[in-house]
A and B are shown apart, each in its own frame.
Chain A
C-alpha cells in the first residue's frame, strides 16, 4: 500500500516537474520590433577621420557616413560603402521606384566628441549623431546627392517659428547621385554640428528623400542664438 502511494506521487511529481519546467522551448516567442537604441558613433583617428570631417566642413551639409544593424559603438570610416557594394545594398537610379522611399524614421542620437578646432565659427558646439531607421518589413531607399544628404536642422526662434540653422541649403533641387538600400531593421547615420549657447529652444531635423519629406520629433536644446543669423548670412 505504502509502495503504491509512493509510486502514485512520483508519477504526479514527475508530470508537474515536466509541465512547469522553465524551458526556452516553452516560452512564448517574442514579437520582434524595430526599436532603435541609438548607438555611439566614434570618429576614428585615421585618415578616414580627417576625410569625414573635411567632407562635412566643405559642403556644410550632413554626409552619409554608413549604415548598420549594430547597436553599440560604430566607428566611422570613410570607405564604409565598400563593405556594402553589390546589388543587395545599392540600386540603380532607374529601378529606385521598385523600392519605397517612404516610411523611414529620423532621429537624433547622442553627442559625438568633437575634434578640437574643427568649427572655429562657434567656440561651443555639439556634434550630434543622426539616425535614419527602416522599421518596416520591406527594404527602403535612401537618396544621396553628391555625397551629402538633403538634411537640415531647424530650430524655433523667439517667435516660435521653425527656422533652418544648419545642414543642406538647397533641399529641393539636384538629382540624386545614387541610392542606398536600407534593409529592414537597418539604420543609416550621419552627424551634424550645432552651436550651443543660452537660448533654450527646440530643434528638429528635416530630411528630403526623393519626393518624401521626413521631419523628426523636436528635441530640447540650448542654442547659440547667433546660429540663426549666421546661417542666413551663409557664414
Chain B
C-alpha cells in the first residue's frame, strides 16, 4: 500500500516536472523570438556619441535633404553601419518588376525625438547636431518608403508669433531624375531620418512635414528655439525671386503644401 502511494506520487511529480520545464522553455523562446509589435524608441543608438555637437544656426529659411539612416527591426538598439541603407537589396521595389502602386504608402508613424541629438554619419566632421525622426510600421502590411540618393522628403515647420504654422525649410532643389528609390518597410520595422537641431532667440514649437508618395504627414509639435529670420528668405540670395515666380508650385513641390511667410497669397 505504502509502495503504491510512493509510486503514485512519483508519477505526479514526474508529470509536473515535465509540464513545468515545457512552460519555462516556451517562455524563454517567446522572449527570444517574439519582437515587440509596437514601436519603442531604441535605448541605444550607436551614433549617440559623447562628442559635443553644435546646433545649426540659420538666418533664413533653408533648403533641406534629411539623411536616411536605413531601416531596422523593432528593438532596443539601433546600430548604424556604413551604407546601411543599401543593405536591403531584396526589399527595394522596382517599377519594371514590382507593382509599386499596390503597396501602401500611408500608415507609417512619424515620431520625432528632438531630445536625442546625434551626428549625421555622412558628414561627421561638421560637428553639427541632428535629431532622429522614426518612421515605424506598426501595421500588418509592408509599406513603401520613397526616397532619393541618401535622403527622404521632409521639411520643418515652426509656429510664428501669431501661432501659424509656417515652413522654415524647403526641399533642396534637385535637377537630376536619377537616384530615386522605393524601399519596403515591413511590419515591425522602422525607417529613420535625421533633421537639424536649430538654436535661436525665438522659443516656439516645431513639427515635421513628411511626404511619402502622395501621402503627407505632419508630426505632433515639440518645443524648440529658432531665429525668427528663418521664416524669411535670405535677402542676399535670389531664392525668394525664384520661389515667387510661382508661389503655388513652390509651396506644393518644395514645402509639400505649405506656403512660406513671404509667399502666402493675399486675398
Contacts and interface: CB of A to CB of B under 8 A. Distances in A.
Contacts of B37: 31-33
B219 A18 contact: no
Interface in A23-51: 23, 25-29, 31-35
Contacts of B123: none
B220 A98 contact: yes
Nearest to B108: A103
B209 A211 contact: yes
In the complex, which range does the number of interface residues on chain A fall in?
35 or more
A66 to B, nearest CB: 21
Contact of A213 (B10, B22, B215, B219): B215
Interface in A129-182: 135-138
Interface string B189-223: 00000000000000000000110011111111100
Interface string A3-26: 000010011101111111101011
Interface stretch (B26-34, B84-92, B231-239): B26-34
A105 B104 contact: yes
A99 B107 contact: no
Interface of A: 7, 10-12, 14-21, 23, 25-29, 31-35, 97-106, 135-138, 206, 210-218
Interface of B: 7, 10-12, 14-23, 26, 29-30, 33-35, 37-39, 101-110, 138-140, 165, 187-188, 209-210, 213-221, 257-258
Given A19-B21, A21-B22, A105-B106, 14 more contacts: A10-B11, A11-B11, A14-B10, A14-B15, A18-B14, A18-B18, A19-B18, A28-B26, A104-B106, A104-B107, A136-B38, A137-B39, A212-B215, A213-B257
